[in-house]
Amino acid sequence: MKETIRMDVHERPAWHTWIALSFQHLFAMFGATILVPILTGLNPAIALLTSGMGTLAYMIVTRGKIPAYLGSSFAFIVPILTVSQGGQHMGEALFGCFAIGIMYGLVALIVYKYGVKWLDQLLPPVVIGSVVIVIGLALAGTAVDMASQKDIVQAMPKTAQEWQSIQGTIKAVDPGQGMVTVHAYSLENFLVALSTLAIAIIASLFFRGFLNIIPILVGIIGGYLIAIAAGMVDFTPVKEAAWFAVPEFTKPVVSWHAALVMLPITLVVLAEHIGHLIVTGNIMERDLTRDPGLHRSLLGDGIAVSLAALIGGPPSTTYGENIGVMAITRIFSVWVIGGAAVLAMSFAFIGKLSALIQTIPTPVMGGVSILLFGIIASAGLRMLIEHRIDLGDRRNLIIAAVVLVIGIGGAVLRFADIHLELEGMALATVVGILLNLILPKQGQADAKEVKAA
């Protein structure tokens, strides 16, 4: 039985509901969106600004038919670090990102000319369903790590035995201060995460009315209050932040070498984009690759990537976290997504609000991430069931098995000379496509066996 759509794409909620729903999407994407610029040396405030601008541009290009939020893409972290060399050549790295946005546009033109029928051949349900499961479960380790681990700074051990007795993973060593940072299990963090998860589940299943449509936001607020009670929240950054602050922009610097180094990453982000679009369409129970069209979706994402690069923001991508929110709430309104985009843009200039959201402890976001990523994986499983994929067929079994293990296992195919790295979901997608094209279907295999006999 099909799930009821609470709010379709073009439905606009009442203003108070609208704000709450938009904040729910803002919280879902916030942590990952500001993490990418922190890791690459870009400005987190600019990342918020460009994510909002890119999302609005995407919705305009797709005629307001795809409720997708675009946040910072993790696929660009390694290429940006490689080209920028510690921030010394950040302008060149941004030009490479701009070029990738242009490449998106070229691919969109090809799709516009030749249509999407080729997608049915490249990505049949057995491949799509398996990849969607990978999208969710490949992030499972991240969600659990966020929920149950924390960094502990302790005195540096003095003997080999003391080093061996350290519980956890050593992240950093500071001989000057005589301290070592260990990433270790924390029962306190995990209990906060589980409490957050429980609140979100209870809100989704048992709450009625307004609170029932914002279970993720309810979970985050509940978990945040528990974290405050546990003494895990430091409000010092909020006190020190300015109310209004104009972020510092960075311009791209033309470098064709940087463009050539970074362009191969296009293969990765294209696979990621198509996967997310298919997941969103599956949740909405409509074919978004045909209406408004894959070409419009690719063009919108490309414009967002290039736009971000022009003012110093990290390249964008559609976000699985926000897809998970839509899957739970069954609210697909682009007005809600657009509201989240406007909020993100405003937070880029309101220092205290941005700082307040950054005080949300990692285990709180880890708790809701367990639910969000699990929902995406479940959507892939549902796709396999609804399309009646016969795993008794050896061909289907092999495709699904290989895609799942490569994707969830985090296999990496690295070409160091051209700085191309396919890993996780992207590599699993490529392998799934190749297996689908190469392996004979059951009828073809039987015919060959008869002929050989």
Q: What is the pTM for the complete model shown?
A: 0.70
Contact indicator for 65, 277 with CB cutoff of 8 Å: no
Total tally of structural domains belonging to the chain:
1
Maximum alpha-carbon separation in the chain: 80
Please report whether residue 10 resides in a domain: no
Report the pLDDT value the prediction gives residue 450, as an integer from 0 to 100.
Answer: 46
From the CA atom positions of the chain, what is the Rg in Å?
A: 23
- Digit-coded pLDDT (tens) for 277-336: 888 888 888 889 888 999 999 999 999 999 999 999 999 888 877 888 888 888 999 999
Report the pLDDT value the prediction gives residue 399, as an integer from 0 to 100.
Answer: 93
The closest of 387, 385, 390, 397 to 436, measured between CA atoms, is 397
CA torsion 301-306-310-311 (nearest 10°) is 20
Please report whether residue 161 resides in a domain: no
Please report whether residue 174 resides in a domain: no
* Mean pLDDT per 10-residue interval, the chain, length 453 residues: 74 88 85 74 87 95 94 77 76 92 92 79 81 79 84 78 76 78 85 93 82 77 92 88 83 85 74 82 87 93 94 88 84 94 90 78 85 79 85 92 90 70 74 89 57 51
Please report whether residue 418 resides in a domain: yes
First to last CA, the chain: 47
Buried/exposed code over 310-330 (b: 16+ C-beta within 10 A; e: otherwise): bbbbbbbbbbbbbbbbbbbbe
Contacts of 43 (CB under 8 A, 6+ apart): 37, 247, 248, 250, 312, 313
Contact indicator for 73, 315 with CB cutoff of 8 Å: yes
- Digit-coded pLDDT (tens) for 78-107: 678 778 876 678 889 999 999 999 999 999
Report the pLDDT value the prediction gives residue 36, as an integer from 0 to 100.
Answer: 78
Contact indicator for 298, 273 with CB cutoff of 8 Å: yes
> In the sheet that 149-155 helps form, which strands lie side by side, from edge to edge?
149-155, 179-185, 169-174
Angle between helices 15-40 and 44-61 (to 10 degrees): 120
Rounded to 5°, the CA angle 78-378-9 comes to: 85
- Exposed / middle / buried, residue 337 (Cβ in 10 Å: 0-12, 13-18, 19+): buried
Give the residue numbers spanning the domain of 116.
15-147+191-440
Please report whether residue 452 resides in a domain: no
Please report whether residue 166 resides in a domain: no
CA torsion 71-69-289-309 (nearest 10°) is -40
Give dist(CA 428, CA 407) in Å, integer.
5
Please report whether residue 447 resides in a domain: no
